[in-house]
Amino acid sequence: MNENNNLGPRNENVVIIGAGPAGIGLSIIFRKMRLKHIVLEKESIGASFKKWPKEMRMISPSFTGNFFLMVDLNAISPDSSPAYTLQTEHPNGQEYAEYLETLADHYKLPIELNKALISIKSGVNGYILKTEDEEIFAKYVIWAAGEFQFPLKDPFPGAHHCIHTATIPTWKDLSGDEFLIIGAAESGIDTAVQLSKLNKKVHVIDSNNSLENFQSDSSYSLSPYTRDRYNEYKENIHVTPDTRVVEVVNKEDNYIIISEDGKEFTSNTKPILAVGFKSSLSKIQKFFEYEDGIIRLSDQDESTLKENFFLIGPQVRHDDAIFCFIYKFRQRFAIVAEEIAKRLMHKKELIKQVIDEYKQYNFYLEDLSCCSNSCAC
């Protein structure tokens, strides 16, 4: 039974799944276009950020450059700035969630909280979305369920002996004086720095050579913020590069970490997994096509398999362009919004007005040829 006491699912034209930066960023555009939609959120606004380890901060800096048309890197709309709202350069998770809540409140976004999507299936001309208490029929679905809440916990045999970085509320809770971290990308080095600050000895096993890898795209290389902190606290940190872990074995009070080339490392505390995320896409595998493990999307970030099913957020990818930072993936919100609004034959003038605003502020990246350029110096 739906709200109107009629049999059958509730009808909604446009449904966004997830109220993180991606879902909220898109919802703001729809609001500006006065396009009716809803956002389903399984917990609260910015729930992933509220789950970040207490000490973790955004690596991308916030600075209010909006009035010179260079919007704060962590902003999700051209008219907002976390640096201004929060008065800090590197917000922690709780602070960033507050910024998202401020936007949701300001724009009176139609977010339905504590409403988890349990299953989704294709119907005639749309999708049947099942939540705990009702079914919703949606013509358009935009997937914005993120990745942080879906950590990769089983990358090799014995990984269940380890703790994933995404499940640690605060580094202060970890007892022991020496730790072994598997993975040396942003979260691995961040963990090493946090533990070193607490005077713990840290050994990081890196499948690549992250500290020596310098590239101009932040998706491929450690951020300056992380390098600065590493340099400050490296005294307690030892890194073994070019070593891929293939198994962890628990022997009495010790954990043996075995690498591909047969080396063994021992830790008397649970090894820490910093190997990334499975992503929420693992829940809807058959809705997208993959080629060599890489998602395929249309030029408007629509699924190549399912009509009117779109993706926004850090999992968006087009060839070498990886949109895993807010300043990158926010540039695709307006492309998705414009496409859906046009298909719905929504008010042309309003669409144009909003899209022009987003273009003016560099929130509309259509030509991706720029994304493979590197810095001259």
Ligand X SMILES: Cc1cc2nc3c(=O)[nH]c(=O)nc-3n(C[C@H](O)[C@H](O)[C@H](O)COP(=O)(O)OP(=O)(O)OC[C@H]3O[C@@H](n4cnc5c(N)ncnc54)[C@H](O)[C@@H]3O)c2cc1C
Q: In whole angstroms, how close is the CB of 252 to ligand X at the nearest point? A: 33
**Bridge partners of 249?**
256
Beta carbons within 8 Å of 112's beta carbon, 6+ residues apart? 38, 39, 40, 41
Nearer Cβ to ligand X (40/341): 40
Q: In whole angstroms, how close is the CB of 168 to ligand X at the nearest point? A: 11
Helix residue spans in 128-220 (DSSP H) = 186-197
Q: In whole angstroms, how close is the CB of 138 to ligand X at the nearest point? A: 13
Q: In whole angstroms, how close is the CB of 141 to ligand X at the nearest point? A: 11
Nearest residue to 280 via CA among 92, 41, 50, 73: 41
Q: In whole angstroms, how close is the CB of 51 to ligand X at the nearest point? A: 9
To the nearest 10 degrees (0 to 180), the angle between helices 348-360 and 21-32 is 130
Nearer Cβ to ligand X (248/326): 326
Q: Rounded to the nearest 5 degrees, what angle is found at the Cα of 28, between the Cα atoms of 27 and 34?
A: 85
Nearer Cβ to ligand X (234/278): 278
Nearer Cβ to ligand X (332/346): 332
Nearer Cβ to ligand X (9/314): 314
Residues that bind ligand X in the complex, under the rule CB under 6 A: 17-23, 40-43, 47-48, 58-60, 74, 116-117, 144-149, 187, 277, 280, 313-314, 324-327
**Bridge partners of 277?**
151
Q: In whole angstroms, how close is the CB of 207 to ligand X at the nearest point? A: 18
Do you know the residue count of the chain? 377
Nearer Cβ to ligand X (144/211): 144
Burial of 131 (0-12, 13-18, 19+ CB in 10 A): middle
Nearer Cβ to ligand X (136/354): 136
In degrees and rounded to multiples of 5, residue 46 shows phi and psi of 65, 30
Q: In whole angstroms, how close is the CB of 363 to ligand X at the nearest point? A: 14
Q: In whole angstroms, how close is the CB of 52 to ligand X at the nearest point? A: 7
Q: In whole angstroms, how close is the CB of 340 to ligand X at the nearest point? A: 18
Distance CA 55, CA 207 (A): 25
49 Ramachandran zone, left/alpha/beta (phi>0; psi -120 to 50): alpha
Nearer Cβ to ligand X (23/126): 23
Distance CA 220, CA 185 (A): 9
**DSSP conformational letter for 335:** H
Q: What is the DSSP string of 237-306?
A: EEEE-S--EEEEEEETTEEEEEETTS-EEEESSPPEE---B--GGGGGGGGSEEETTEEEB-TTSBBSSS
Residue corresponding to tokens 């070498």: 320
Query: How many C-beta atoms surround the C-beta of residue 314 within 10 A?
Result: 21
Residue corresponding to tokens 């990984």: 159
Nearer Cβ to ligand X (142/180): 142
